[in-house]
Structure 1
Amino acid sequence: MTGQRFDTWAVGDAYERYMGRWSRAVAAEFVAWLDAAPGLRWLDTGCGTGALTATVVARARPGWVLGLDRSAAFVARARAEVPAPAGFVVADATAPPLREGACDVVVSGLVLNFLPTPAAAVAGATRVVRPGGTVAAYVWDYAEGMEFLRYFWAAAGAVDPAAERWDEGRRFAVCRPDRLRECWERAGLLDVAVVPIEITTGFAGFADLWEPFLAGQGPAPGYVAALSGPARDRLREALRASVPTRADGSIVLGARAWAIRGVRPGRVHG
């Protein structure tokens, strides 16, 4: 087993049920916080299935928005579902295929921690945003704020002490406010601000919580996929016993993301 093996993101439908539905809720709060003027040029790096891109189209009234992602399957789904003025390309978030200063706003949702060099992605975003433009992102607070993952990894650790090495809360240091701020400031961005975004993750029942972990998309589902059948059963029952369940069988947990924004220095022309 390797950490890289567990960080697969490629199947749109599986991603939507596991994480996309929660990403959309955060995206709405994030775009509202940015409070950007209409008609601007946007880039969404690591756009995935287009949750953030679609929110920009619906709420920010952009002049245009380009989404890019390394997964051709994610890009295909985003193209099919997100309306104009959005466009999508398969490309690396660390090297956006745009000229310097081509964008007014560069954003990223839930992707920085999965990049080998997050600082390179922030540097790439800073290059393609105009002077005075905004570079912004949000990431899950894996260490403390994602309750359904905290319950998952606690249950996994109870039945397999080696599981903790795959826990996102241990692996992804950039998902902390101080590390995010450091990354933005090293890129030369000014007026850096970091805020929490809190949402509720509601599950109709235990199956609604557990079944997305079986799809193999992301670290926790990748870990589940690598288990033997009996080990998977033990993990399922440990998780079932630990999560707080309401009288109607539903499970309601909190989730927190950290949002950050900064401004590229320099004079604004025109």
Structure 2
Amino acid sequence: MAEVEGTRTFRAAGSGYDGFMGRYSAELAGPFADFAGVGPGTRVLDVGCGPGAFTAVAVGRAGAARVAAVDPTPSFVELCRRRHPGVDVRSAAAERLPFDDASFDCAAAQLVFHFVSDPEAAVGEMSRVLRPGGVLAACVWDFAEGMEMLRTFWDAALSIDPDAPDEARTLRLGREGELSALFASQTLTQVTETTLTVGSRYGDFEELWNGFLAGVGPAGAYCASLPPRRQAALRDALFDRLGRPAGSFSLAAVARAARAIRP
């Protein structure tokens, strides 16, 4: 099974992810859990848990004993285990979930499906481990318009390198209707889609720039791969596009979310 371009760039340490994307995923986890219907008594599977932002919300609402999580990245699995004692955290891909049929009330994947090699197989596996009537939910960033941090970065990158691997061009399932169409193509019912808007505040531009230098994700990997002169040009282009902020500033992020019911 071919690996989606960019997937390997998440094999960095969890601390690098926390400073780069984790600050957004932590804000997104609550609204996404609301959308997925996670509450007291819900048996939850967090698919592609990363360091555990959504896992934390699920534990807070349902209790650690009712939450399980999987991720294919060993450093994320270990970090999620340390952060959430009592949660069943395993190393696995979304396409091969190591759980019995009908084990969960909710299977949720936050910011994962862009990087899933076989989305149809992943939906099939998530559906398989749900009880009848269980909820399958997923969300991804709207890279084309709504994820301000990444959109501004890639616009800056394209201004100095027309061949920069803009995630809006290279990754799937971030446009309106794509996630819900994926769900509707499977044996699922009551498919709905919405948008969830969150944001993050930076103390200064260097805080934002250091997140890219950590090399996490496609944007970070691209930034870190540049020779010093090109990296400096990218930094200047990004600074200009953000209006050359002198102090703190905020960036918004829009996620597209879809949910469905296993019949």
Same-fold status (TM-score > 0.5): yes
The answer to whether the aligner puts 1:42 opposite 2:49 as a matched pair is no
Alignment-derived partner of residue 252 in structure 2: 254
| Counterpart code for 1:138 | C
Could you tell me whether the CA contact under 8 Å between 1:102 and 1:130 is conserved in 2? yes
| Counterpart code for 1:128 | V
Could you tell me whether the CA contact under 8 Å between 2:153 and 2:238 is conserved in 1? yes
Distance 2:258 2:18 in 1: 24
Could you tell me whether the CA contact under 8 Å between 1:205 and 1:249 is conserved in 2? yes
| Counterpart code for 1:250 | S
Distance 1:122 1:40 in 2: 20
Distance 1:7 1:73 in 2: 12
Distance 1:109 1:249 in 2: 31
Give how far 1:249 is off: 1.2
Give how far 1:63 is off: 5.2
| Counterpart code for 1:129 | L
**1:84-123 residue pairs with structure 2 within 5 A?**
84=86, 86-123=87-124
Distance 1:195 1:5 in 2: 25
Distance 2:234 2:114 in 1: 25
- The 3 A distance-change label for structure 1 pair 206 and 36 is closer
| Counterpart code for 1:14 | G
- The 3 A distance-change label for structure 1 pair 223 and 3 is farther
Could you tell me whether the CA contact under 8 Å between 1:137 and 1:260 is conserved in 2? yes
Distance 1:115 1:33 in 2: 21
**1:181-260 residue pairs with structure 2 within 5 A?**
181-244=180-243, 249-260=247-258
- The 3 A distance-change label for structure 1 pair 255 and 130 is same
| Structure 1 gaps, min length 5 | 266-270
Give how far 1:42 is off: 1.2
Could you tell me whether the CA contact under 8 Å between 1:8 and 1:217 is conserved in 2? yes
- The 3 A distance-change label for structure 1 pair 3 and 230 is farther
Alignment-derived partner of residue 79 in structure 1: 81
Could you tell me whether the CA contact under 8 Å between 1:7 and 1:114 is conserved in 2? no
- The 3 A distance-change label for structure 1 pair 5 and 196 is closer
Distance 1:186 1:3 in 2: 21
RMSD: 1.8
Identity %: 38
- The 3 A distance-change label for structure 1 pair 251 and 245 is farther
Distance 1:190 1:23 in 2: 27
Relative to the length of structure 2, the TM-score reads: 0.94
Distance 1:60 1:141 in 2: 29
The answer to whether the aligner puts 1:130 opposite 2:131 as a matched pair is yes
| Structure 2 gaps, min length 5 | none
Distance 2:4 2:206 in 1: 26
Relative to the length of structure 1, the TM-score reads: 0.91
SS at match of 2:163: helix
Give how far 1:251 is off: 2.0
**1:171-186 residue pairs with structure 2 within 5 A?**
171-186=170-185
The superposition leaves residues 117-155 of structure 1 with CA deviations (integer Å, 9 ceiling, x where unpaired) of 112111110111011101001111111101111111111
The superposition leaves residues 77-113 of structure 1 with CA deviations (integer Å, 9 ceiling, x where unpaired) of 00111243x2201111111011111111101110111
Distance 2:208 2:79 in 1: 24
